[in-house]
Chain A
Amino acid sequence: MPFKTPKIDRVGIQERCAKFQSRSLKADTKKKLLRLALNMVDLTTLEGSDTPGKVKQLCNKAILPHGALPNLPQVAAVCVYPSQVKTAKKALNGAKINVASVATVFPSGQAKLSIKLDDTRFAVDEGADEIDMVISRGEFLRGNHNYVFDEIAAVKEACGKARLKVILETGELSTLDNVRKASEIAILAGADFIKTSTGKIQPAATMPVTLVMLETIRDYYYSTGIKIGMKPAGGISNAKLALHYLVMVSETLGDDWMNNNYFRFGASSLANDLLRQIVKQESGLYQSKDYFSIG
């Protein structure tokens, strides 16, 4: 292990998060960050009822988030199930937007390794640029850390050139110490990104959990020089909260992480609230939700 696992103090983490939330963002800073946040969104649909039509609609939204403001940045990626990857890839039609696919029997991960690897290879073969895998929480909580490590390493290999995001499902890990430990295992096993949640379990992303993961990324950077990305997912549905997250990233990891290469929001409804706030900044008026297309 290149680094030793420090303990996490929950109260201290909460106090630090409260400080990020007390930063006041105004004027040009706010405008800039709203656009940056939009550019960091992984526009997501992960429903059993997803249809090719819905995925196409999502992809169109990714390319042109809000027709009335043509100069907006695009989102970072669309995130779908493996079976929808081909549809998404085609719909995006060469736009510089990645297709991310959940894999490894998302969201539970309750299957044997060979099935998870097949799931991953299928998504990659269909054209996925990024793979969002889930860890085996049961094995982690049982203390079987080697199993979790080996599984991530195997999936990483199956990913080939696709970037690997490892979902810890922090809502099931029960302590921040576990979040720290799982983050380290994921990073050491080959994660390009670490991600909080599937969005199917409550609580999903929270600021304290994200801060613990950001601090792990920072410590790994100082010990190796390698930058790992971060993706909080689920529960970040409004622009104000997204901006608090950006303050947290910028004051924890700094400027190099303030782009969609290293930071993403996994969210379905965040994009429209960001658009609403951007329009408000441009026009001075809040528009009703009816003015924004659903993804």
Chain B
Amino acid sequence: MAKKENKNIADLKFGATIEYAPAPESNAHIEIKKKYELFIGGEFVAPEKGKYFPTINPATEEKLADIAKADATDVDKAVKSARYAYDNYWSKISGSQRGKYLFRIARMLQERAREFAIIETMDGGKPIKEAKGFDVPMAINWFFYYAGWADKIEYAVPGKNPEALGVAGQVIPWNFPLMMAAWKIAPALAAGNCVVLKPAETTSLTALKLAELIQEAGVPPGVVNIVTGEGDTGAAIVNHADVDKVAFTGSTRVGKMIQKSLAGSGKKLTLELGGKGANIIFEDAAIDQAVEGVINAVYFNQGHVCCAGSRLFVQEGIAETVLQKLKDRLKTIRIGNPLDKNTDIGAINSKKQLDTVQDYINIGINEGGKLYQDKCSLPKKGFWCKPTIFTNVSQASRVVQEEIFGPVLTVQTFRTIDEVVELANNTYYGLSAGVWTDKGSKVFQVGNQLKAGVVWANSFNKFDATSPFGGFKESGFGREGGLHGLTAYLK
């Protein structure tokens, strides 16, 4: 196979014949306001203290807009307006009427998909082909799916006569800003709740665009409130006395803080936290497709994916082959302007995150890991990290144990099924895993032993609104998607 039988055989050479000319998606018609306010009670209102913070394009470091910073007073207003809307309107109308609003949001998002994709790419740094091909379609998928549930809630949990919880406080991360907003808002509204949602501070724009769309869709004031800000704004939502349910997606560190502060409060809680997904390739796998799967598992969205397959385990007989193929594949990956249709890896979301990733790369090197990065060039401005592979690492390495949330893959080898199951489960996370083998029975044998919320077979990072998603251990609890995702918003 691709294992070199003879050291004199030269590596394949890539990239000299086709130099892709720039093919940027036009953003000329995209309207981004200079300043964005808080969306409370169906109106855009200035924050009480009048404070704003900038949001930048991580690929250019240019400022895109000023975003309102909500403090506890603003959050209180938002929760009150959600409560008012719940008591006086949302809990009074029929499920089919709630569904009507959700279908309308889904359709309007479809119509404006391109605009949302471009803004997502500008504000967050992800490649336009992912924003267009994944983030926005997924968000639409979620709204359509849960719109269908809105008038069938009484059948969702047979015999239990389920009811809405009331007001949900929701805090989401910066890796899939619009999609995460959809994952939170759609099931909450379908189940009959009103929401106060806070997007991450580096990626507020698409959530605020969604607020405009929700306003335009005629959703009753206060049903959806979007408040922007940093960690303290999130804390104000989580700790507000009149919030019935908290849903958080983000880091394990913050998730632990939230769980502590909610203890004894009676609030319902779901947490979707970090991960360190194991991706296991057996010798009998379709090797080239598995290699492509590894690329997709760890370099998708610059590795800013909680369920990323960041730990690769390769059966020893094919380890050299797989590594050769991974390195060849990295040579054809294109990093650069996220708006370019040919870009495979965009910008790291923020300076802070870039520092974190670089710290981990240094840690990996200091631990004795062997680093591989392709010789590609990076843009001068903006936050960039080359796709990285670490070999010569072990379970004890921090780069193997800790979530990096960047384009960094660690590669370990194994001999037997028992060995790899033990290695894969030897982590405090348990969100995702992948198994690559041509043998169906092995998929189930291994999959059943892996302690992960989702196990993909011969694929990775596949999602659908009908399928529940969530973690084990420190990756959190509760499920999003499917019927499970709905019941998280019902009592």
Contacts and interface: CB of A to CB of B under 8 A. Distances in A.
B88 interface: no
Given A222-B2, A222-B3, A7 B438 contact: yes
Interface in A182-211: none
Contacts of A215: 288
Given A2-B5, A12-B292, A219-B1, A251 B14 contact: yes
Contacts of A224: 5-6, 9
Contact of A9 (B3, B23, B286): B286
A25 B342 CA distance: 9
B341 A255 contact: no
B12 interface: yes
Interface residues of A, number: 40
A24 interface: yes
Interface string B6-24: 1011101111111111110
A8 B342 contact: no
Contact of B21 (A3, A26, A223, A247): A26
Number of chain B interface residues as a range: 35 or more
Contacts of B19: 29
Contacts of A27: 21
Contact of B12 (A16, A30, A36, A221): A221
A254 B13 contact: yes
A12 B13 contact: no
Contacts of B14: 250-251, 254-255
A240 to B, nearest CB: 15
A6 interface: yes
B17 A258 contact: yes
A2 B10 CA distance: 18
B276 interface: no
B467 interface: no
A125 interface: no
A143 interface: no
Contacts of A13: 289
A24 B19 CA distance: 11
Contacts of B288: 6, 8, 12, 16, 215
B353 interface: no
B5 A7 contact: no
Contacts of A255: 13-17
B289 A219 contact: no
B254 interface: no
B6 A29 contact: no
A11 B20 contact: no
A271 interface: no
A22 B284 CA distance: 30
Interface of A: 2-4, 6-9, 11-13, 15-16, 22-30, 33, 36, 215, 218-219, 221-225, 246-247, 250-251, 253-256, 258
